[in-house]
Structure formats: structure tokens, C-alpha cells
A and B are shown apart, each in its own frame.
Chain A
Amino acid sequence: MAEEILLDVQHLTHVFPLNRRMSVRAVDDVSFQIRRGEIFGLVGESGSGKSTAARCVMNLYRPRSGRILYKGIDTCDAAAFRANRRMLQTTRQLIFQDTSSSLNQRMRVWDIITEPLRIQRVVPPRGSLRAEAAFQMHYVGLDESFLDKYPPELSGGQRQRVAIARALAMEPELLVADEPIASLDVSIQAQIVNLFKHLQQEHGFSFLFIAHDLAMVEFLCDRVGVMYRGRLVETAPTAELFSNPLHPYTRALLSAIPIPDPRRERSRQLVTFHGEDLPPGGALREAGPDHFVLRSSGSGED
């Protein structure tokens, strides 16, 4: 590949201990790469480990094993992290799902947006912090009358725009969005996804987009990874994945997309997939150009 690889996740495993004996493997041997300027979608059902993987990428969790290379720096290594702390904290930003808890209710909108600038003591490029906040808000489609409002006074879509403006204030190179549209209405979802697409074209940041809405992923992402029970079962370019799904779970997931046409919707075939069908072990094998599928080590090509 000619393009530079910005984020390289290698054999990431994260385990949540439940008690002394039991534990949950939330993320199990997951490897994927994000190239510079690419939108990578991570889909899967609830509890499949998408968010945990994202939080490991953002250093919020310490993975049990595996490496996460960001620009060639192993962010899980404490010494390497400390040496590049400022770069890691400014060039990677995170957007959460629940806007009512990801914005501090007691801070004004412009305070929230400029918080990263304050923390890193960045001299605001547009004069004052307030002007910077106004600029970022304009960028995400909010006008200046919102500057002095508190988050509870805004609607869900407006709050998500504020959260996006906060993440963009640092001009990040990698944006991690953990189900940023799941808590919004459908009409607002479309607006936010369009905003993401527009911003990505404008800024050119790399984007890890986590969602369970397949239509949105198909619209937005360049490449998609499908997760199931903590494992990455298939990754491929979006068009390839949606036209030629290879893994049985991917087929089941894609067959669950409703079709907005009652006649065709009635004849839609639902593929079912059970957890027992996923054999333990196995590794991602290349099945086509840039298309990888999880295959157990025993079985051959089918």
C-alpha cells in the first residue's frame, strides 16, 4: 500500500474481570489498520466490543495484550506514551454517543469547545478563545447565539455538534467517534453524518467511526470492519463488503437491513447466525484485494 498507515492495531485483546474466576474477553485478538485520510467503520451488534476497542485506541483502557501503533508509536507502552504525550493528546480526539453526559452541564458552550485549547495552553489562532469557539461553531453549523448557552438548553443534535466542534478545535489527525449518531433522531442522524463527511473532506483527518447502523456505514465509510463477540470477523472496502460478504456473520448482519419497499421487504431472506457457528481461534485470511475474512485454522477455502 502506498498510503501511510496512521493507526495500526495488532492483536488487541482486552479482558474485563467480573470476579475472581470469571472474566469477559471484550476484545479478542483484533487487528486492523487505518490509513491516513480514511474513514474506517466498525460495525457489530451491542456488546461486540466496538466501544472497548475504541477506548483502548484512545488509551482509556489498558489492553491485556496486543499493540496499538499510532504513527509508529506504541501507545500502550507507558514510556513511549509519556515521551509523546502532547502529540498523542492533541492529534487524537474522541466523540461519545451520549451527548448529555459527554458535555459538562455546568459549562457554557464556548467553554466546552475551547477546553482542549486551554488544557494544552494553545495560543488561539483566531485571536481570542471566544473567537475560536465561534469559528468552530460556525464550522459545524451552529451560530454564535449558542456561545453562552448551557448544554441542557440545546437539543441532542446541537449538543452533538458542540461535541464535534470540541474535537475539531485541536485539528486532530485521528478522530474516534463512538456511536456518535446512535442517540439522535433519524433526520438529525443524516445531518450529522453529512457533516462528518463534509468535515472529513475539508480537514482530511482519519476517522474511526463506530456504529450499528449499516446504512450509515455504507454511506460514510471507505472501509468497514465487522465485529462479533469481541472478534473481528471480516474487513473489506465498503462496496466490496456490501456486495460480496464472505463470513456467515456478515451475511446474517447484512440480511437484517430492512428494505424500504414492502414487496421486496416481504421476500427478504433472513440469514441467521449462532454464536456456536463461530469456532474459537483462527486468523484473518486474505480473500480478495484488501478483503480479509476470519477463518478457523483447520478449515480450508470454501
Chain B
Amino acid sequence: MKERFEIVGIRPLPDPPVRKRKWHEGKPLLSAGVLALIVLGCLLLPLMGTRDPSYMDLTRCSVPPGKAFLFGTDAMGRDVFSMIWYGGRLSLFIGVAAALLSAAIAILFGAASGCAPAWLDGLLMRLTEILLSVPNLLVVVLLQAVLGKASPLSIALVIGVTSWTGMAKIVRTEVRQIRASEYVLASRCMGGGFFHILWRHLTPNFVSSIMFMAVMNVRSAIVAESTLSFMGIGLPVEVVTWGSMLSLSEKALLSGAWWIILIPGGFLVAALLCITSLGSCLRRNINRRENNLY
């Protein structure tokens, strides 16, 4: 009897085409590029032939953009092009400093609360909830009034001190989970102190979950500074930031000088969009890396 089927061999299948990911795929190149341009512009501003941004030339106020003034001049005759770069310097500084400060407070406070016994943990968390429930603006105005004359440093301080509560709650939850794990117990048995455990064991394990928030805090700090300046309780008009430039915009609206609003506004929005997109890309990458670990 003849076999109905016989195996005559295995046909080699062609390898499935492996599409190599190009190096730039899945990376926010445009955002990184634009942000890098803005940051570089702010850092290298003396090379760009800028004028003194605080020099007021009242004979040439509200000049529309043209040859002499690339972005025009504002209602007080200051060169908007120079102001953009000088202001960007301060705005970005305030954003980064405030975000760093709030992250540091959040990590310390959250870790302390997460490691504390139940009653102290409850107390500290209720404290943050009280802070969280007071309108942020109110606290900022209060602190600013206490600190006296606003300077970029004091603004960064005030914004940093008021924006750590949400992050601290996340840190505290993560620490609660991590501190029960056996490597923390082992480290404690070996005599590791609070800061050793915080730095070597806790932070590396929760940093991914607050990374996104930390980057977003840069953004919200810039926004907060702009808001404060716009409302006139932030930096004075002669200290140039993107926010204080916008504080002149209600007058500009009436006089139809669009460049005074649109140009700093455009830079602000562009910078914020870039930071947001970088932040969300960071979060995606970290999540992917964590999943690969298991």
C-alpha cells in the first residue's frame, strides 16, 4: 500500500523581513530640535546681535516687525527680538529651578512619609491634602508677599514650594510598596540608613513614575510664572521674561499691535509643546523598558 503523504523535505521559509527601526523612529525629533534651538538661542544671545532688552526708546514704540526691529518693538519701545531671548533665559531658568526644587521636596517628603509609622504617615498626608486643597494662586501670592520684592530666584522658590504635593503623594505610594520588599529589609539588616536606602533602593525604583511629572512641572512652572506676571503680581515689567512680556498684552490688544502678543506667546506655546512631547515620550520609553525587565 502506498503512503498517501510522505515528507520529502522541509521547504526553507524565507526569513520574515525584519524592518530595522531607523534611529530616529519613535523619537520626538521635531520637539527636541525646536527646544534645542530655543535653549541655544537663549544661551548664545550675545552672538546674535541683540540690543539691550530693557532699553526704552519711546520715540519708536510699537513699531511693527521690519528690517530695523525683526520682531518689532513693544509699547515702551523695547526691541521684542532681544526681549524674547533674554526673557527665555529667565523663563526657562525659573521652570527648571522650580521643577528641581519641587522634585527634591516631593522625594524627601514622600519617602519620609512612606517610611514613617502609620500615624505619622497619616499626619503628613493630611498635611499635603490641606496644602493641595488651598488654591495654589492664593499660597503663591501670600508667599510672594512675605518674600517681598520679586526676583527670578524668589519666583522659582515660591513656585517650587507650592507644586510638590501631587508628586509627593505618588512617591509616598510607591515607597509604601517598595519598602516592604525583601531587598530593603536586607539592606536594613546590614545597617543601611534612611538616606542610603532612599538613594540606592527607593529612588531608582520610583523615579520612572515621577519622571513624567517632573518634566511636566517645568512646563507648569513656566506657565505659573507667566500667569503671575500677566496678573502683575510676578516679576516687574523691567525684568524681562516671556510672562512679563505678555503682561503688556492687554494694552497691545487695544492698539492692534499683534506682534507684542503673538511673538512671545508663540515662543511660550512652542516651548511648552516641546517639553510636553518630550515628557510623554520619556514616559513611553520608561514603561517599555520596565515591561522588558520581566
Contacts and interface: CB of A to CB of B under 8 A. Distances in A.
Contacts of A150: 293
A92 to B, nearest CB: 7
Given A96-B182, A98-B182, A101-B181, A106 B190 contact: no
From A59, A101, A170, name the one whose CB has the most chain B CB atoms within 10 angstroms.
A101
5 contacts: A58-B189, A94-B186, A94-B189, A150-B293, A166-B186
B136 interface: no
B205 A104 contact: yes
Given A101-B182, A101-B183, A106-B205, A89 B191 contact: yes
Nearest to B188: A60
B191 A120 contact: yes
B70 interface: no
A123 B246 CA distance: 59
A152 B293 CA distance: 7
A268 interface: no
A60 B182 contact: no
A102 B189 contact: no
Nearest to B178: A104
Interface stretch (B28-36, B39-47, B196-204): B196-204
| Complex A-B, nearest 8 residue pairs according to Cβ-Cβ distance, in ascending order | A89-B191, A102-B182, A106-B204, A116-B190, A104-B183, A96-B182, A101-B182, A119-B192
Interface in A47-67: 58-60
A136 to B, nearest CB: 14
Contacts of A120: 190-191
Contact of B189 (A86, A92, A105, A106): A92
From B190, B191, B201, name the one whose CB has the most chain A CB atoms within 10 angstroms.
B190
**Interface of A: prevailing SS:** mixed
Interface in B154-197: 181-183, 185-193, 196
A257 interface: no
Nearest to A106: B204
Contacts, number: 60
B187 A119 contact: yes
A59 B183 contact: no
Interface of A: 58-60, 85-86, 89-90, 92-94, 96, 98, 101-107, 115-116, 119-120, 150, 152, 166, 170
A93 B293 CA distance: 28
Interface residues of B, number: 19
B189 A152 contact: no
A37 to B, nearest CB: 22
A107 B189 contact: no
Contacts of B185: 60, 94, 96
A98 B181 CA distance: 10
A105 B292 CA distance: 12
Nearest to B184: A104
B205 A152 contact: no
A107 B181 CA distance: 15
Nearest to A58: B189
B188 to A, nearest CB: 7
Contacts of B204: 104, 106-107
Interface string B38-66: 00000000000000000000000000000
Contacts of B182: 96, 98, 101-102
B192 A96 contact: no
Nearest to A178: B182
A150 B290 CA distance: 13
